[in-house]
């Protein structure tokens, strides 16, 4: 599978795109990475004099790599048509956080599909830092479909 094709179909752009690369994807899960550049705007206020990546942004990174990229792969795998208008709705998250992520750090996300039925995808996700330490883990779910052909 062409990883760049999957990333290009993501419904996000900078500054809200949290996927730099994919390293693995199949019908059971996905893996990829993202570097939190030092100049990202949210670091200016989170936290004053000691910037750290907000948990909601770490969750979003896990969702984009582990849930949405996998969902795109699954849709491409099961559809006879190309995806032209991706619709994504995040429906639930349960995350546990263990370590902070600082400006300039690269994280690595992996996911394991729990189920994909009726366009609802649920996955277990894990995020690691460059030292291979567990940053956070949890379960994420969302609805994902190609809405190009709806009237």
pLDDT the model gives residue 85 = 81
pLDDT the model gives residue 146 = 81
What is the domain partition of the chain in residue ranges? Answer: 3-146
Give the C-alpha separation, 12 to 9, whole Å: 9
pTM of the model: 0.94
Question: Running along the chain, 151 residues long, what does each successive block of 10 average in pLDDT?
Answer: 92 96 98 97 91 98 98 88 84 98 98 96 98 98 81 48
Q: Can you say whether the dihedral through the CA atoms of 90, 56, 84, 80 is positive or negative?
A: negative
pLDDT the model gives residue 41 = 93
Q: Beta-strand (E) ranges in 1-151?
A: 21-26, 29-35, 86-97, 106-117, 120-128, 134-146
pLDDT the model gives residue 52 = 98
Residue 65 gets which letter from DSSP?
A: I
3-146: which CATH number, 3.10.129.10, 3.40.50.150, 3.30.360.10, 3.20.20.220? 3.10.129.10
Q: Can you say whether the dihedral through the CA atoms of 59, 18, 30, 148 is positive or negative?
A: positive
The alpha-helical segments, DSSP class H, found in the chain are: 3-8, 55-62, 69-78
């Amino acid at each position: 599978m062409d990883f760049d094709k999957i990333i290009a179909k993501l419904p996000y752009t900078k500054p809200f795109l949290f996927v730099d690369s994919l390293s693995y994807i199949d019908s059971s899960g996905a893996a990829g990475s993202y570097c939190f550049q030092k100049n990202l705007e949210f670091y200016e206020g989170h936290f004053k004099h000691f910037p750290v990546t907000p948990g909601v942004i770490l969750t979003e990174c896990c969702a984009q790599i582990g849930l949405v990229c996998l969902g795109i792969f699954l849709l491409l795998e099961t559809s006879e048509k190309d995806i032209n208008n991706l619709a994504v709705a995040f429906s639930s998250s349960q995350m546990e956080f263990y370590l902070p992520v600082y400006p300039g750090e690269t994280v690595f996300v992996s996911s394991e599909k729990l189920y994909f039925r009726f366009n609802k995808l649920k996955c277990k996700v894990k995020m690691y830092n460059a030292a291979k330490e567990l940053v956070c883990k949890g379960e994420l779910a969302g609805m994902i479909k190609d809405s190009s052909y709806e009237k």
